[in-house]
């Protein structure tokens, strides 16, 4: 039984075909495409129509291979959205979460509404690009899009609407807006009123694994595919990735590693305690009624930006070359706090790292290998910091750390992460978001009875690489220095 998962990341997207053979999962890629943000004047946008075009190309390529999918699912990044007008058309290209129009908006709102009030209603980590601040930035700019808007759709919701003509909001992505109340299980009407955001924009919320329409007849005719059901999967890509964590324990820690690093655990109910607010953890919706208690960490974005800068100056390095240079660079020389806000925006990343090191009176990296080592060591040590916070919040002691996502190909980071956390790291699968997307479609079709059965099939279908901790005393000492330099307190 073949199903298609569209897995859209911040820099690329792909269409993958999944097949079940007994309890084993087989995955093949039929189409891959770039996802290039577009700067227009002072604004940074997603090229949403290009993404939809590429999704259609994925269906065409599947058809050319003789594949008639039983269903389709979409997952993507969170927080960004499109607005639909009264005629059912998209109003403008969605803004990119790294656009600067949200600068200062979060701080201004928190002067008017206490953070504890917002957190008790939403349970979401305070990040300057959250949907709530994007909408308030548009209000402050008197955006005509808001005046004409009739419906609000997150990126997967929007692309699903393009496919089906049906408008639905999906749970895992809805929770990331900082406008959804996890205790009431609905959009927070009181918060929307206080912010003067029309409740009518926000539709009923579908749980992952829910049928959400059929391919439009006009689109089916255009592509020659026939009618295909579309499933609302766990549409936040991290939500899908967590479905694919091949854990055997009920309580486990995960790290979804890619452009962003998202570390946390699954919980039955959101944790909205003063400590969770103080640690700025987020409670995002998950599959099967679970919540993802996690922390967003800046991730490999910092390295990707440096790599882009080197390439633009004519120094093109492959990732294995960068890793080799990092291994040859002097260890434990300089660190950054990856979540310092200076590292959020694109451009000038090496200068920002230099500036951070100068301000903290550390040696300043000068060669690519030193930059890479600084970034990867800092990420590994930040993972230890967040893992300890997660254990403190939940009262759990995790036996190791599951790492999923494309970041597992960075074997040096996996190895150093095991050293830093002092526990085994189990790396895999790499295509976790797409695999979780496929799994939720099969659950919707009754092929798996639940997420637990899907995870068992994932364990049987994909190999893991185990990294045992080494040099733990050396990394323990480095961790203490890292905390001092970054000003982080346990």
**Helix residue ranges per DSSP H, 250-367:** 274-279, 301-312, 319-328, 349-359
In terms of residues, how long is the chain? 490
For 369-404, what is each residue's pLDDT tens digit?
999 999 999 999 999 999 999 999 999 999 999 999
The verdict on 217 and 274 lying in the same domain is: no
The verdict on 209 and 274 lying in the same domain is: no
For 401-415, what is each residue's pLDDT tens digit?
999 999 999 999 999
The verdict on 348 and 255 lying in the same domain is: yes
Q: How many CA atoms lie within 13 A of 409 on its CB side?
A: 12
Q: Are the beta carbons of 47 and 36 closer than 8 angstroms?
A: yes
In the numeric block, which tokens belong to residue 361? 């009176």
The verdict on 144 and 279 lying in the same domain is: no
CA distance 418 to 467: 6
CA 61 to chain centre: 27
The answer to whether residue 311 scores a pLDDT higher than 90 is yes
The predicted pLDDT at position 490 comes to 86
For 33-83, what is each residue's pLDDT tens digit?
999 999 999 999 999 999 999 999 999 999 999 999 999 999 999 999 999
The verdict on 161 and 267 lying in the same domain is: no
What is the β-pairing status of strands 180-181 and 186-187? antiparallel
For residue 443, tell me if it sits in a domain.
no
Q: What are phi and psi of 147, to 5 degrees?
A: -65, -30
- Could you say which of 235, 257, 292 is where a domain stops? 235
The answer to whether residue 339 scores a pLDDT higher than 90 is yes
pLDDT cut 70: percent of the chain above it: 100
The verdict on 122 and 78 lying in the same domain is: yes
The predicted pLDDT at position 1 comes to 75
Q: How many separate domains does the chain show?
A: 2
The verdict on 249 and 223 lying in the same domain is: no
22: confidence class by pLDDT, cuts 50, 70, 90: confident
The answer to whether 75 is a known catalytic residue is no
The verdict on 137 and 101 lying in the same domain is: yes
pLDDT cut 90: percent of the chain above it: 98
For residue 275, tell me if it sits in a domain.
yes
CA distance 226 to 302: 43
Q: Are the beta carbons of 297 and 386 closer than 8 angstroms?
A: yes
Residue 157: burial class (beta carbons within 10 Å; 0-12, 13-18, 19+): buried
Verify cis geometry, omega within 30 degrees of 0, for the bond prior to 486.
Answer: no
User: How high does pLDDT run on average in the chain?
Assistant: 97
Q: Supply the range of the domain harboring residue 382.
A: 245-428+449-490
The predicted pLDDT at position 290 comes to 97
- pTM of the prediction? 0.97
Give the position of tokens 């919320």: 205
The verdict on 230 and 250 lying in the same domain is: no
The predicted pLDDT at position 265 comes to 98
The predicted pLDDT at position 445 comes to 97
For residue 222, tell me if it sits in a domain.
yes
- Could you say which of 211, 235, 259 is where a domain stops? 235
CA distance 410 to 390: 24
Q: For position 14, which CATH number holds?
A: 3.30.420.40
For residue 442, tell me if it sits in a domain.
no
The verdict on 58 and 186 lying in the same domain is: yes
- Could you write out the DSSP letters of every residue in 334-400? ----TT-GGGSSSS-HHHHHHHHHHHTT-PPP-SHHHHHHHHHHHHHHHHHHHHHHHHHHHT---S-
CA distance 421 to 460: 27
- Could you say which of 195, 211, 235 is where a domain stops? 235
Mean pLDDT throughout 358-365?
A: 98
CA distances (Å), 104 to each of 109, 111, 128, 137, 174, in order?
9, 11, 8, 9, 23
The verdict on 285 and 416 lying in the same domain is: yes
Closest by Cα among 177, 173, 80 to 123: 177
CA distance 301 to 298: 7
Check 99, 188, 237, 339 and give the catalytic one: 237
The predicted pLDDT at position 319 comes to 84
For 98-156, what is each residue's pLDDT tens digit?
999 999 999 999 999 999 999 999 999 999 999 999 999 999 999 999 999 999 999 99
For residue 465, tell me if it sits in a domain.
yes
For residue 389, tell me if it sits in a domain.
yes
The predicted pLDDT at position 23 comes to 85
The predicted pLDDT at position 393 comes to 98
For 165-185, what is each residue's pLDDT tens digit?
999 999 999 999 999 999 999
For residue 47, tell me if it sits in a domain.
yes
For 265-283, what is each residue's pLDDT tens digit?
999 999 999 999 999 999 9
For residue 436, tell me if it sits in a domain.
no
The verdict on 102 and 177 lying in the same domain is: yes
Mean pLDDT throughout 200-211?
A: 98
């Amino acid at each position: 039984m073949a199903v298609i998962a569209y897995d859209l990341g911040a820099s690329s997207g792909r269409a993958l075909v999944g097949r079940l053979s007994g309890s084993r999962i087989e995955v093949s890629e039929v189409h891959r495409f770039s996802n290039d943000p577009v700067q227009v004047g002072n604004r940074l946008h997603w090229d949403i129509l290009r993404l939809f075009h590429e999704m259609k190309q994925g269906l065409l390529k599947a058809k050319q291979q003789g594949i008639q999918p039983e269903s389709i699912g979409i997952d993507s990044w969170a927080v960004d959205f499109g607005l639909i007008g009264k005629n059912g058309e998209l109003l403008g290209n969605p803004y990119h979460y790294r656009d600067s129009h949200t600068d200062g908006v979060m701080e201004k709102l928190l002067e008017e509404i206490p953070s504890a009030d917002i957190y008790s209603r939403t349970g979401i980590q305070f990040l300057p690009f959250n949907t709530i601040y994007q909408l308030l930035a548009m209000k402050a700019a008197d955006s005509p899009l808001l005046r004409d808007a009739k419906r609000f759709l997150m990126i997967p919701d929007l692309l699903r609407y393009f496919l089906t003509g049906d408008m639905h909001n999906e749970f895992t992505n809805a929770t990331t807006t900082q406008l959804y109340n996890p205790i009431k299980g609905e959009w927070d009407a009181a918060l929307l009123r206080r912010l003067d955001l029309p409740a009518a924009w926000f539709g009923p919320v579908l749980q992952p694994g829910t049928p959400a329409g059929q391919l439009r007849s006009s689109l089916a005719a255009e592509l020659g595919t026939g009618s295909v059901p579309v499933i609302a999967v766990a549409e936040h890509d991290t939500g899908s990735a967590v479905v694919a964590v091949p854990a055997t324990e009920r309580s486990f820690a995960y790290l979804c590693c890619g452009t962003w690093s998202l570390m946390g655990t699954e919980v039955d109910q959101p944790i909205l305690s003063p400590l969770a607010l103080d640690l700025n953890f987020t409670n995002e919706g998950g599959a099967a009624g679970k919540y993802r208690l996690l922390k967003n960490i800046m991730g490999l974005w910092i390295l990707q930006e440096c790599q882009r800068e080197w390439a633009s100056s004519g120094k093109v390095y492959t990732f294995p070359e960068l890793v080799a240079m990092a291994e040859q660079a002097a260890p434990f020389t300089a660190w950054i706090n990856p979540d310092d806000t200076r590292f959020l925006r694109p451009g000038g990343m090496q200068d920002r790292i230099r500036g951070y090191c100068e301000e903290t009176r550390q040696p300043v990296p000068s060669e690519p290998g030193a930059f890479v080592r600084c970034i990867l060591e800092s990420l590994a040590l930040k993972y230890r910091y967040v893992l300890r916070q997660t254990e403190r919040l939940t009262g759990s002691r995790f036996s190791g750390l599951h790492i999923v996502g494309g970041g597992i190909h960075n074997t040096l980071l996996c190895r150093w992460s095991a050293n830093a956390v002092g526990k085994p790291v189990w790396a895999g699968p790499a295509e976790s978001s797409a695999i979780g997307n496929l799994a939720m479609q099969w659950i919707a079709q009754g092929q798996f009875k639940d997420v637990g059965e899907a995870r068992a099939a994932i364990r049987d279908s994909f190999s893991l690489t185990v990294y045992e901790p080494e040099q733990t005393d050396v990394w323990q000492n480095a961790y203490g220095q890292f905390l001092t330099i970054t000003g982080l307190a346990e």
